[in-house]
């Protein structure tokens, strides 16, 4: 298996360019199933989740061709199955979007439950609510999620009981070609939902209101959807991760190829601690003045435009060495504090009470052997390793590779000391 060795104690300095958004890519790629033409996607992140999704589409007989490392052509004209291969879909959470895409294309689907990071229960009741509003029925049969519609889908009204990114995306995908108007209320507003809607509109769909509480979709004839070229937005979470890393190492980093308004909530929390954050047209600079005394803060992870849950582990890691008491409340996932036990191995003083983490800042962290319990926790472990003296060993880094492109090399370019090594299993037969 592979590990990362992180040697800390060096402030990060320089400039880093952000890749395309993982969360947008894994929504837009299955959306291509609705389109019987060639779509060219640009600024595609070169990560494992994207490659896995493209493999899923190829298994459904889509024509997939890389133009270059970050540009891919997808033609779903010949997709002829509504049953993706379970061995693939079980490896990633974003595979749930196949339900909406296949329902919109074929009026039915049969998929294995999605995999990916484990943050606790992943109910699909709101997804089902959206599908049922369009005239479909969904049930679980022998461990498979099966959806079908006896009659063609038609537009309907959906009101989500909770704000949910996944169900919002799935309802959009299912409704694009459903005759009539579909209204989604209490919709999620994340940037990648807006990007999905913009992609579909560029290919002939009629979606309005993405990025607000209410989304309206006028169903179009499937034959009116067409191919085209679309550029995926920059990754808000990757950018935020480098923002926090710059602050945590008391460095000075300019992050380029970003949409600054997507980063304002992250920047505001860093500013509250005393960090300098400066926004450009498509960049943000994060620096810490020499001798600056940083302050503890309280924050809550919420749906957009609140502080992103995907940035919660990174910010908690940064706060772990700020004198005083900070708090972090998780209002999205029910089991996202599993990484805290890894930070404690490094000397952090954090106690978790339900969905609340109470962080008592320590003087410094210590290097240790830790693991990436999930994708964003893996990024947090890298930040933790860069914050302390000595060499931190990070295992289970396959989580990191799922969602960050060329991650350690970007840190290395900023002065971080990171080495990827291959080791045998951590046990030996005697």
Which are the catalytic amino acids? 117
DSSP-derived letter for residue 204 is T
**What tokens appear for 353 in the block?**
């009470």
**What tokens appear for 343 in the block?**
């930070």
User: HEC string of 310-327?
Assistant: HHHHHHHHHHCCCCCEEE
Non-local (6+) Cβ contacts of 141 within 8 A are none
User: Within the chain, what is the greatest distance between any pair of CA atoms?
Assistant: 68
Edge-to-edge strands, sheet with 252-256: 13-17, 252-256, 283-287, 276-279
DSSP-based three-state secondary structure for 46: coil
Edge-to-edge strands, sheet with 71-75: 63-68, 71-75, 38-42, 228-231
Non-local (6+) Cβ contacts of 186 within 8 A are 159, 160, 161, 162, 163, 213
- Percentages (nearest 5) of helix, strand, coil residues in the chain: 35, 25, 40
| Integer angstrom CA distances of residue 401 from 56, 96, 103, 386, 387 | 18, 20, 30, 18, 21
Judging by beta carbons within 10 Å of its beta carbon (0-12, 13-18, 19+), is residue 144 exposed, middle or buried?
middle
Write b or e for each residue in 7-37: b if 16 or more Cβ atoms lie within 10 A of its Cβ, otherwise e.
Answer: bbeebbeeebebbbbbbbbbbbbbbbbbbbe
Measured CA to CA, the distance from residue 419 to residue 79 in angstroms comes to: 42
DSSP-derived letter for residue 421 is E
CA end-to-end distance (rounded Å), the chain: 20
Strand blocks (E) in 260-368 = 276-279, 283-287, 298-301, 325-330, 349-353, 356-360
- Residues 368, 344 contacting (CB under 8 angstroms): no
């Amino acid at each position: 298996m592979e590990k990362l060795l992180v040697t800390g104690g060096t402030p990060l300095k320089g400039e880093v360019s952000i890749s395309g958004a993982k969360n947008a890519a894994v929504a837009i790629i299955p959306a291509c199933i609705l389109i019987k033409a060639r779509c060219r996607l640009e600024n595609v992140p070169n990560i494992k989740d994207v490659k896995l999704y493209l493999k899923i589409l190829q298994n459904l007989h889509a024509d997939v061709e890389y133009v270059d490392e970050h540009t891919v052509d997808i033609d779903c004209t010949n997709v002829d199955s509504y049953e993706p291969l379970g061995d693939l879909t079980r490896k990633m959470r974003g595979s749930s979007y196949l339900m909406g895409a296949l329902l919109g294309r074929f009026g039915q689907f049969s998929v294995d439950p999605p995999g990916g990071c484990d943050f606790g229960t992943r109910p699909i009741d709101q997804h089902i609510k959206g599908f049922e509003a369009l005239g479909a029925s969904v049930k679980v049969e022998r461990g498979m999620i099966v959806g079908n519609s006896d009659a063609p889908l038609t537009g309907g009204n959906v009101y989500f009981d909770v704000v949910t990114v996944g169900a919002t995306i799935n309802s959009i995908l299912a409704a694009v070609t459903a005759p009539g108007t579909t209204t989604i209320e209490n919709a999620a507003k994340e940037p990648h939902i807006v990007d999905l809607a913009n992609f579909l509109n560029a290919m002939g769909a009629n979606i309005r209101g993405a990025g607000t509480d209410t989304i309206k979709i006028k169903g179009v004839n499937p034959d009116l959807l067409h191919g085209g070229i679309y550029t995926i937005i920059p990754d808000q979470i990757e950018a935020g991760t480098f923002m926090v890393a710059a602050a945590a190492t008391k460095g000075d980093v300019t992050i380029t190829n970003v949409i600054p308004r997507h980063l304002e909530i992250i920047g505001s929390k860093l500013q509250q601690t005393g960090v300098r954050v400066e926004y450009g047209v498509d960049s943000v600079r994060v620096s810490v003045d020499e001798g600056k005394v940083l302050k503890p803060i309280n924050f809550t992870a919420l749906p957009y435009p609140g502080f992103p849950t995907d940035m919660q582990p990174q910010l908690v890691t940064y706060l772990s060495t700020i004198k005083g008491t900070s708090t972090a409340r998780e209002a999205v996932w029910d089991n996202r504090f599993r990484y805290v036990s890894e930070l404690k191995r490094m000397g952090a003083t954090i106690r978790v009470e339900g969905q609340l983490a109470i962080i008592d800042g320590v003087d410094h962290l210590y290097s240790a052997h830790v693991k990436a319990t999930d994708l964003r926790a893996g990024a947090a472990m890298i930040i933790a390793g860069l914050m302390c003296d000595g060499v931190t060993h990070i295992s289970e880094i396959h989580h990191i590779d799922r969602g960050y492109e060329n991650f350690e090399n970007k840190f290395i370019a900023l002065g971080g000391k990171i080495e990827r090594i291959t080791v045998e299993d951590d046990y030996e037969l005697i």
